[in-house]
Amino acid sequence: MSSSFRRLKLQIAAKVLLIGAGTALAGYFIVFFLIDGVLQDPFARSFVAFCENTLDMSNAEAVALFRQIFWYNKQFWLLLGFMLLLLLVFYIAMSRFIRYFRLIIDGVDKLTDEDEKPILLPDELDFMQVKLNSVKETLNRRKREAAESEQRKNDLVVYLAHDIKTPLTSVIGYLSLMNDEPDMPTEQRAQYVNITFQKACRLEQLINEFFEITRFNMQTMTLELQPFNLSLLLQQMTDEFYPILTARGQTADVQVGDDLVIRGDADKLARVFNNLLRNASSYGEEHSPITVSAELRNDRAFIAFRNRGAVIPPERLDAVFEKFYRLDSARSGNTGGAGLGLAIARQIVEQHGGAIRASSSEEYTEFLVELPA
């Protein structure tokens, strides 16, 4: 950008120099040709003839008037001529600057245009043209992303309304049955109570995730960085998931060394790994293994969560990390959340200076977290 401005300044300076050179030539012409040069006599004769023929003056009176106006005030006319030329130079230079400003203002006004037409400026403002088109493209992209995000949020409200209504209807139904039949057998009543409890827990999960929309604000999040044992954290987390995994016939295979220590906010990274393991269980096949591995390479920690399940299309691998995004298979099941888990995970990882990415094939789906060690 600085080199582009420098080039523009050089172009303007060159034009000003050309105009200045033209002014000097005009001044030279006035001094050496019109007043003191070869055109002095023709100019004087023309002035005297004008006075004699138009103003009815005698020759002596006309000559005296010429000398009084021009000859004795030669310095005044030279100064006046140069002043007029300088004003002309200033006007031309300012017109050039004003033209540039107007073109730039017109380009700025076009930033909010919804069309895809590029902003065009003169060649000397090509750097500004590139910058304005880049800003316009960014604004259009953000506008599209905002519209898509709003649409996903609206869809989420519809999905949540459906998801909340389903377990709520079950809770009301089973409670109504138990209320209408006080003599229900104990075993059957216990079964209904268990089902009602599961549906109520599902309701609580959906409501808690929905409140994440207003509670979670990464801009105000502060990290408490300190060394912690990653191996122990991953092992404890998989132990806590044992009931969830067992219910689906899944197993967790933790492939991590005993003394893998990294620096970070253990509580917030635990949330990342919790979301990834929950995601692997929710979208993984029943009665299938989930592999959790971690290793150090070149002062970077790589933590992978791998499961067998439906293949994620390549065009959706980045979208799964967006807020309110859920795969279609999660909308009708009991595992789909509000679509915030992976978005939150990515922001926490990026806050640590790391990265998270997904890959999917017929063999397995993997989420890989890269963190500074």
Asked whether residue 181 falls in the same domain as residue 108, the answer is: no
DSSP label at 354?
Answer: -
Mean local confidence (pLDDT), 13-42: 65
Predicted confidence (pLDDT) per residue in 166-188, tens digit: 678 878 888 888 888 888 888 88
Task: Check whether residue 241 and residue 353 sit in a common domain.
Answer: yes
Q: For residue 121, tell me if it sits in a domain.
A: no
Q: Which of 182, 215, 248 is the last residue of a domain?
A: 215
> In this structure, is residue 23 part of a structural domain?
yes
Q: What is the CATH number of the domain that holds 311?
A: 3.30.565.10
- The confidence score (pLDDT) of residue 103 equals 79
Residue 369 CB coordination number (10 Å):
23
Residue 304 has pLDDT above 90, yes or no: yes
What the block records as the tokens of 306 is 């791998």
Q: Is residue 188 in some structural domain? A: yes
* pLDDT more than 90, % of the chain: 6
d(CA 347, CA 345): 6
CATH of the domain at 170: 1.10.287.130
3-state secondary structure of 241: coil
Written as six digits, the tokens of 284 are: 């993984």
Q: Give the range of the structural domain holding residue 13, as residue numbers without chain letter.
A: 2-112
Show which of 57, 90, 112 is a domain's final residue: 112
For residues 101 and 189, state if they share a domain: no
Assess if residue 310 is contained within a domain.
Answer: yes
Does residue 234 share a domain with residue 368?
A: yes
Between CA 306 and CA 285 the distance in angstroms is 12
Rounded Cα distance between 45 and 55, Å, is: 15
According to the model, what pLDDT value does residue 198 have? Answer: 82
Spatial separation of the C-alpha atoms in residues 1 and 5, rounded to whole Å: 6
171 and 75 share a domain? Answer: no
* 259-290 pLDDT, tens digit each: 888 999 888 898 889 889 888 888 888 889 99
Count the domains in the chain: 3
